[in-house]
Structure 1
Amino acid sequence: MHSSPTFDVQKWQMEFSKSGRVKCWTLMERSTWQLLEAEGVLTCPIGSANDDPVLQEAYAWMKDSMASAGVLAPEPGVSPWWCWVRREQNHPEPYIEDAEGLHDPVVLQLSLPAEQIVLSCFDLWHCVLNKWYVWSSEFDEQDFDRAMEKAEEGSVAALQLQRRMQKSWLAIFELDQTVMDMGPFEAKSIQGCYWTLRLADVTAVIERDALTSHHQA
């Protein structure tokens, strides 16, 4: 059983929704898009996600957070799909640089049911990836750093600090928070996670060459 969420997922689902749906963009290989065209519905197997152990740990934390917010995986052994809800202020879709690393990418513009997507701050997500503490004030940061210096690896204190750090990561879901000087809400890069990709939710297919460069923004 999952605990009750300590972040307000519905607030942001409503903030970014129109008629109960959220407009977003997902980057993928053309072969995956062709498979979606053929099958109509796709989930993302864990084996298809990045196999970097650091990323896998961060993905597992995101999956647990989604579940605690009531956005449950449809089946075992799947990883969430990722999307952009707002790449940057006044630029919602991804940039051409975001397609780097993909062999033959396309961008799917989607309209997802709001209750099926969990939104988070892209920049603060790097704290989860890098196992950084999300401090709420300069005093909080210094207090955590001092405690880390004193704690011995594997000790009760170290485990407590690990839990404190993971709890601090929940700030990534509070999109209007001001911790770590991530800028105003209107300028934040917002990403989304959802479990099921449906052909019926695709509203446009955008070729890589149609994307603008980050340097042109």
Structure 2
Amino acid sequence: MERSTWHLLEARGALTCPASHGNDDPTFQQAYDWMKASMNDAGLRAPAESLTPWWCWVRREPDHPQPYIEDLRGHEDPVVLQLSIPSNLVALLCFDLWHFVLNRWYVPASDEDDVDYDRALETAEEGSEAALRLEERLKKSWSAIFKLDQSQVDMGPFESKSIQGCFWTLEHSHVTAVVERAGLDSYEET
């Protein structure tokens, strides 16, 4: 995040993220709306309707545990926060499966399920009852992104999965370290 946002967090003690600071790409808006609804359904309710969740890395690929320099693109004066957030305040998800949601891909439960869904998709007429059921089935399949210990789509063993977290309020008390941009090359996960 920008250093100015970090200073604001220090001054206020907690920050939420207005929807205007979220993903404004209309291509992905439905995916982000789905995530917000999923968090709500899981009991992680937004403090206000006009918010979008904060996103964080919980774990990156095993060969690269520290933040990527690419994550800092577009920031003028960035800092990276190391957080310790109580598990009941954060939704954990598989980064790779999140792309199924972003791209509106079906997450099949099996090879047979995948074939069945594709067959049904080919025959459903737009706006029909069958198309509406397929839309529900598609969105229900996305819940697989939260099942980190297994996957309906082979994304590798649990230990190699990149995991992200979504939460509503960034609390100053959750910050355990502030890593300066210059320190990222030498930053080691503790």
Superposed pair shares fold, TM > 0.5: yes
Aligned residues: 186
Distance 1:116 1:156 in 2: 37
Query: Given the alignment of the two structures, is residue 114 of structure 1 paired with residue 91 of structure 2, yes or no?
Result: no
Structure 2 alignment gaps of length 5 or more: none
User: Larger relative contact order (C-alpha < 8 A, sep ≥ 6)?
Assistant: 2
**What is the aligned-residue identity percentage?**
64
Structure 1 partner of 2:69? 96
CA distance in 1, matches of 2:166, 2:66: 15
Q: Whose strand fraction is larger, Structure 1's or Structure 2's?
A: 1
Larger mean Cα displacement after TM superposition, 28-37 or 63-72: 28-37
Tell me how far 1:207 sits from its aligned partner: 1.8
Q: Determine helix, strand or coil for the equivalent of 2:85.
A: strand
Return the alpha-carbon distance in structure 1 between the equivalents of residues 23 and 143 of structure 2: 22
Q: Is 1:166 paired with 2:134?
A: no
Correspondence for 1:152: 125
For residues 115 and 169 of structure 2, the distance between their equivalents in structure 1, rounded to whole angstroms, comes to 41
Unaligned runs of 5+ in 1: 1-27
Aligned to 1:29: 2
CA distance in 2, matches of 1:104, 1:129: 29
CA deviation string 1:139-194 (max 9, x = no partner): 21111111111111111111110100000000000001232210000000000001
Does the CA-based 8 Å contact 1:29-1:104 persist in structure 2? Answer: yes
Q: Counterparts of 2:76 and 2:130 in 1: how far apart (Å)? A: 46
Deviation, 1:99, is 2.0
Could you tell me the TM-score, scaled by structure 1's length? 0.80
Cα distance in 2 for partners of 1:154, 1:101 equals 40
1:82 aligns with 2:55: yes
Which residue of 1 is the match for residue 175 of structure 2? 202
**Does structure 2 retain, via aligned residues, the 8 Å contact 1:41–1:197?**
yes
Cα deviation, residue 210, structure 1: 2.5
Map 1:46-61 onto structure 2 (within 5 A). 46-61=19-34
Distance in 2, matches of 1:92 and 1:74, equals 31
